[in-house]
Amino acid sequence: MVTINANYDKRPSTYLFAEIARRTKAHQATHPDAKIMRLGIGNVSGSNAIAPTVLAGLKRGAELCGSTSYSGYGDEQGDTRLREAIAQSYIKHGVVINSKEVFVSDGAKCDVANIQSLFGLENVVAIQDPAYPVYVDTNILSGRDNIVYMPCTKENGFFPDLPKQKVDLIYLCSPNNPTGAVGTKRQIKKVVDFANDTEAVIIFDAAYSSYIRDIGSPQDRLPRTIYEVPGAEKCAIEVQSFSKSAGTTGVRLGWSVVPMDLLGGKLNAMWNRRSTTFFNGASCIAQEGGLAALTEQGQQECQKMINYYMGTADVLNQGFRKKGFEVASGGDNAPYLWVKTPGNMNSWDFFDKMLDEAKVVITPGVGFGPSGQGYFRVSAFGTRENAEAALKSIQENLKI
């Protein structure tokens, strides 16, 4: 008789954002006239979400599929032109990446979920708490449940202290999802030095790096990539996304950098083996969109879009403060705000209250880990009108 992967019983039966969608749908069903406003998932939508140049690239990709130059399957690691363009895009950060270190994928979520398969199940995994739930879920579902939480609290400025014990894998996300906190070069260097000293590997999630507005001080920059930190090429894999920087959440496109200097190229060779075996490459249409996003015109338009979302983050920041909330972190260099629940209310109770009274969907902080209890996350993705309408409703209807 077949046996099943019993690790699935070790986690809640639904994924965080699926649970939020379920509760929202249930509320809508019992309140059919309610106009629900979403500040929950970091999703883009609508006709302006994708910049014109990126859209033109996607259309070109679709047309190529109907032309004589259509060649079916592409390279599993990604179109060489896109791998080269991505490698080139690091130069503005003073970082040299070889295109063979770049692997194009169908999104950063898949990469952060799958990358753990390169590592032994006995490894001890250090994960920021709170964190994007995919890190913990995928490790546990894969049978690696020796997890060390690294609390990110008000006391440590939402950047984790180094683990006190030996760990093998370290997940770091900056700008952070969900807290919006950004590690400085000095802070990230401490983790890099720790990893190099202890022979650990860092999985660095940089999906929100294009939202960093401040340069930081000359002595202590806010790095856009972990490879700005000396020594990172020897210990870190970086995962990146077009979803948030080019508005392609539904198109699905991202990449990982697996340096040749990491374990003497062993992990690069293993990720290459995995990509060619478990994956047939990202959609050729999506990759044309990615190429367009990385052109000068594409970058300018994407920056305009990022500025728009960050403008919305400012509006949300002011609006929540005006209502008396404590915005503990985020919103300045990230599209997320990390906010205290009123009266230290339980995160899920507050989620229900917000939906009931204001008809606004937020993300309960505890869904990102135990240290998220008593917090909620607000997303600045979506239209300005949606954010303004949500704030108005909160101001008028939420009883706190």
Min dist CB 43 to ligand MLT, Å, is 6
Stretch that binds ligand MLT, among 38-46, 83-91, 97-105, 224-232 (CB under 6 A): 38-46
Q: List all residues 6 or more positions away from 346 whose beta carbon is below 8 Å from its beta carbon.
A: 366, 373, 374
Q: Is 252 in the site for ligand MLT (CB under 6 A)?
A: no
Stretch that binds ligand MLT, among 37-45, 71-79, 115-123, 263-271 (CB under 6 A): 37-45
Q: How far apart are CA 223 and CA 209, in angstroms?
A: 8
Q: Which residue number, 18 or 121, has a Cβ lying nearer to ligand MLT?
A: 18
User: Environment class of residue 122 by beta-carbon count within 10 Å: exposed (0-12), middle (13-18) or buried (19+)?
Assistant: exposed
Stretch that binds ligand MLT, among 35-43, 210-218, 257-265, 339-347 (CB under 6 A): 35-43
Q: Which residue number, 268 or 347, has a Cβ lying nearer to ligand MLT?
A: 347
* Sign, CA torsion 193/196/201/204: positive
Q: How far apart are CA 114 and CA 138, in angstroms?
A: 8
Q: Which residue number, 222 or 239, has a Cβ lying nearer to ligand MLT?
A: 239
Q: Is 38 in the site for ligand MLT (CB under 6 A)?
A: no
Min dist CB 94 to ligand MLT, Å, is 28
Q: Is 254 in the site for ligand MLT (CB under 6 A)?
A: no
Q: Is 330 in the site for ligand MLT (CB under 6 A)?
A: no
CB 61 within 8 A of CB 293: no
Min dist CB 342 to ligand MLT, Å, is 22
Q: Which residue intervals of 323-383 are DSSP H helices?
A: 347-353
- Residues of span 116-145 touching ligand MLT by CB under 6 A: 132
28 token code pair? 């809508």
352 token code pair? 């229900």
- H or E element: which one contains 220? strand 220-221
Q: Looking at beta carbons, which residue is closest to ligand MLT?
A: 42
Q: Which residue number, 176 or 287, has a Cβ lying nearer to ligand MLT?
A: 176
CB 188 within 8 A of CB 229: yes
- Alpha carbon separation from 119 to 65, 218, 262, 271, 301 (Å, rounded): 37, 36, 13, 11, 39
Closest CA to 37 of 347, 383, 398: 383
Q: Is 109 in the site for ligand MLT (CB under 6 A)?
A: yes
Q: How far apart are CA 373 and CA 356, in angstroms?
A: 20
Q: Is 41 in the site for ligand MLT (CB under 6 A)?
A: yes
Q: Which of 128, 138, 177, 312 binds ligand MLT (CB under 6 A)?
A: 177
Min dist CB 66 to ligand MLT, Å, is 31
- Residues of span 196-225 touching ligand MLT by CB under 6 A: none
Min dist CB 177 to ligand MLT, Å, is 5
Binding-site residue total for ligand MLT (CB under 6 A)? Answer: 6
* Sign, CA torsion 193/102/93/115: negative
Q: Is 42 in the site for ligand MLT (CB under 6 A)?
A: yes
Residues of this chain that bind ligand MLT (CB under 6 A): 41-43, 109, 132, 177
